[in-house]
Structure 1
Amino acid sequence: MSLLEVKNLSVDFRTAHGNFRAVDNVSLTVEKSEVLAVVGESGSGKSVAMLAVMGLLPWTATITADIMAVDGQDMLNMRPKERRNIIGKDIAMIFQEPMTSLNPCFTVGFQLGEALQAHLKLSRREKKERIVNLLEQVGIPAPEKRLSSFPHQLSGGMNQRVMIAMAIACQPKLLIADEPTTALDVTIQAQIIDLLLKLQQDTGMALVLITHDMGVVAETAQRVSVQYAGQRIEMQDVKGLFSEPHHPYTQALLSALPERAVGKKLASIPGVVPGQFDRPAGCLFSPRCAYATSRCRSERPVAANAGFGSALCHYPLKGGSPEGHPGKDEAVA
């Protein structure tokens, strides 16, 4: 049994102009002690899908799924009180912006204590010792002195470490890290990623890493889920994804890496991710795909009929190459 199992998850938001589908029939699994990376451009539904699992979406969201379970527990039909016993304990999340996730009115020590108090029965002394140990574990110097600090008195990197300490406080089985290095400088980014991987290896928890950084994916993940416009368009192990991408979007993402443009012009993907009012009739990537055919523009690919590599494409690439792709000559013509 997978630690996290999600099958055909969809999330619709009610807006003044009608419903907007932010997540469209996404399925994924996470095994115990696994590191799964979820990649894609902004607007691809990565964060929304994980927030749906956590139960943190606003009332305007409608969530449907065939299965949404954590460690065998049905998160879709669970009562709010039962969910509160699991969120923060068995499954935890690190958010993008620590300065907006931490409460500016309370000290670091108080906020960490709240997380412990909600799930663990500790005395005041045990709770303080646990908080100090957590801050020390995530690499914050002089942790005893930081207990009385407010978020604005700490740097962005320090606040992110506090968020990590809060997330691992109850030793979760699954940790979701939603672009945990956003707005941090390069040196601090590397430190945060190294810290997360060390904690994952030390505790054996599973890690879902939402990121834009394909370099981080290559060095950390075991499997990769690629999302585009709310859909999961490809799922592969990390080695296979980098050596033989099957979806044109995955190939375009990898081609845009600076290290693959040595001596030539840096590649880019034209256009933008479709929104509520400009979704194409066929494949959602067809307006930006260099190999799109008339079939791609008029007919949606179906996951059940997808080719090898779980690519949601009418014509998955073979060997990571467009040679023999029916759209190659049509695109040139």
Structure 2
Amino acid sequence: MALLEIENLSVAFATSGGTFRAVDKLSLSVQSNDILAIVGESGSGKSVAMMAVMGLLPWTAKVTADKLNFNGIDLLNLNARMRKKVIGKDIAMIFQEPMSSLNPCFTVGFQLAEALRVHLGMNRAERRKRSIELLELVGIPAPEKRLSAFPHQLSGGMSQRVMIAMAISCNPKLLIADEPTTALDVTIQAQILDLLVSLQSETDMGLVLITHDMGVVAETADRVVVQYAGQKAEEQPVKKLFAEPHHPYTSALLAALPERATSQILPSIPGVVPGQFDRPKGCLFSPRCAYATDLCRTVEPKRAEAALGHALCHYPLVDGEPTKNQKVS
């Protein structure tokens, strides 16, 4: 049994202009000791899908799924009391902006100790000892002094490390890291990623890494889910995805990497991710796809087999060319 099982997850928001589906029939699974990366442009619904797992979406969001299970627990029908026992303890999340995720009114020590008190029932001495251990584990120097520091007294890298310490404080079975290296310089990014991977291997927890950086994916993940406009475009093991992408969107993302550029001008994907009012009738990627045909523009594609990366495409790419040799019409 998978640690996290998601089948046909959809998240819709009620707006003044109607209903907007931010996540559209997303299916994925995460095993223990597994690193799954979810990649895609901003607006692809990556964070929203994981916020649905955490139960942190606002009341305006309508969450539906055929299955949304964690370690055998049905997260869709979890009552508030049980959710408090699971979220934060067995499932933890590192949020995208550490400077805004930490409470500016409380010290680092207080915020670390709160989770230990609520979930593990530790007394004051035990909480202090464990907090120092956690700060040492994430590489913060002089941890005893940092316990009395407020978030504004920490750098971005330090704040991110504190967030990681809080997330792993109760030894979660599943850790969701939402853009954990955003706004950090390259050196600190590498340190944070190395820290997450080492913690994951030491504790056998499942790790979901949300990112738009394909370089991060190549160095850390075991499997990749490529998300576009709320839908899963493709899913493959990392090496296979980089060797042969099957969805035109994945291929375009990889082609835009500087190390793959064959000229001085980097390739780009024209257009933007469709929003509420500009979603095309057929394939959502068709307005931006170099291989789109009239069929793509009018009929929703079906998901391909596993050998083709479960690509949501009428003509999955094989050896860089669309199947059936279809051309632009």
Scaled by the length of structure 2, the TM-score of the pair is 0.98
Equivalent residues of 2:218, 2:238 under 8 A apart: yes
Letter of the 2:173 partner, please give it.
K
Give the Å deviation of 1:39: 0.3
Structure 2 CA distance for partners of 1:53 and 1:195, relative to 1, 3 Å = same
Distance 1:304 1:234 in 2: 9
**AA in 1 matched with 2:31:** E
Distance in 1 of aligned mates of 2:167 and 2:324: 46
In 2, the alpha carbon distance for the partners of 1:201 and 1:167 equals 16
* Map of 1:314 onto structure 2: 314
Which deviations, in whole Å up to 9, do the C-alpha atoms of 1:72-130 show, x marking residues without a partner? 11101110110110001111000000011000000000000111111002111111000
Counterpart Cα distance in 2 of 1:35 and 1:98? 22
In the alignment, does 2:29 pair up with 1:29?
Answer: yes
Partner of 1:81: 81
AA partner of residue 41 (structure 1): E
Q: Distance in 1 between matches of 2:67 and 2:115?
A: 28
2:222 matched to which residue of 1? Answer: 222
C-alpha change, 1:220 and 1:89, in structure 2 (3 Å) is: same
Paired with 1:306 and 1:254, the residues of 2 have a C-alpha distance of 20
Shift of 1:204: 1.1
C-alpha distance in 2 between matches for 1:64 and 1:303: 20
- What is the CA–CA distance in structure 2 between the aligned matches of 1:197 and 1:324, rounded to whole Å? 37
SS at match of 1:158: helix
Residue 203 of structure 1: aligned partner: 203
Note the alpha carbon deviations across 1:156-200, whole angstroms, 9 max, x for none.
000000000000000000000000111111111111111111111
Provide the rounded CA distance (Å) in 2 between the counterparts of 1:250 and 1:157: 30
Task: Note the C-alpha offset of 1:202.
Answer: 1.2
- State whether residues 291 and 322 of structure 2, in contact with CA within 8 Å, keep that contact through their aligned partners in structure 1: no
Spell out the pairing of 1:129-140 with structure 2 (5 A cutoff): 129-140=129-140
Q: Is the 8 A contact 1:307 1:314 kept in 2?
A: no
Does the CA contact (< 8 Å) of 2:5 and 2:67 recur in 1? Answer: yes
Paired residues in the alignment total 329
- Measure, in 2, the Cα distance between the counterparts of 1:115 and 1:297: 50
2:11 counterpart of 1:11: yes
1:123-154 CA-to-partner distances (Å, cap 9, x unmatched) read 11111000000000000000000011000000
- The residue identity in structure 2 corresponding to 1:97 is E
Q: Match for residue 62 of structure 1?
A: 62
- 1:327 lines up with 2:308 in the alignment: no
**What letter corresponds to residue 128 of structure 1 in structure 2?**
R
1:303 deviates by 2.8
Check 1:141–1:124 CA distance in 2 against 1; reply closer, same or farther (3 A cut). same
| Matched residue, 1:158 | 158
1:245 maps to amino acid: P
In the other structure, the counterpart of 1:168 is: 168
Amino acid of the structure 2 residue aligned with 1:281: K
* Aligned equivalents of 1:305, 1:212: Cα separation in 2: 25
Query: Which SS does the other structure have where 1:7 is aligned?
Result: strand
Paired residues of 1:2 and 1:29 also in contact (CA < 8 A): yes
- Secondary structure of the residue that 1:297 maps to in structure 2? helix
Alpha-carbon distance in 2 for matches of 1:137, 1:305: 42
Q: Partner of 2:318: helix, strand, or coil? A: coil
- RMSD, aligned α-carbons: 1.3
Rounded to whole Å, the distance in 2 between the matches of 1:147 and 1:208 is 28
Amino acid at match of 2:10: S
Q: Quick one: distance in 2 between partners of 1:16 and 1:307?
A: 42
Can you give the 5+ residue segments of structure 2 that lack an aligned partner in the other structure? Answer: none
Aligned pairs (5 A) from 1:236-255: 236-255=236-255
What runs of 5+ residues in structure 1 fail to find an aligned partner?
Answer: none
CA distance in 2, matches of 1:14, 1:56: 16
Match of 1:269 in 2: 269
1:12, distance to aligned residue in structure 2 (A): 0.3
> SS of the residue aligned with 1:303?
coil
CA contact (8 A) 1:307 1:313 kept: no
Residues of 2 paired with 1:316 and 1:225: CA distance? Answer: 16
Supply the AA of the counterpart residue of 1:299. V
Shift of 1:203: 1.1
Q: State the Cα distance separating 1:327 from its structure 2 match.
A: 3.5
Kept in 2, the 8 Å contact 1:291–1:325? The answer is no
Residues 306 and 312 in structure 1, CA contact (< 8 A), matched pair in contact too = no
Q: State whether residues 286 and 296 of structure 2, in contact with CA within 8 Å, keep that contact through their aligned partners in structure 1.
A: yes
Aligned residues of 1:307 and 1:316 also touching (Cα < 8 A): no
Change (3 A) 1:214 1:136: same
Letter matched to residue 302 of structure 1: K
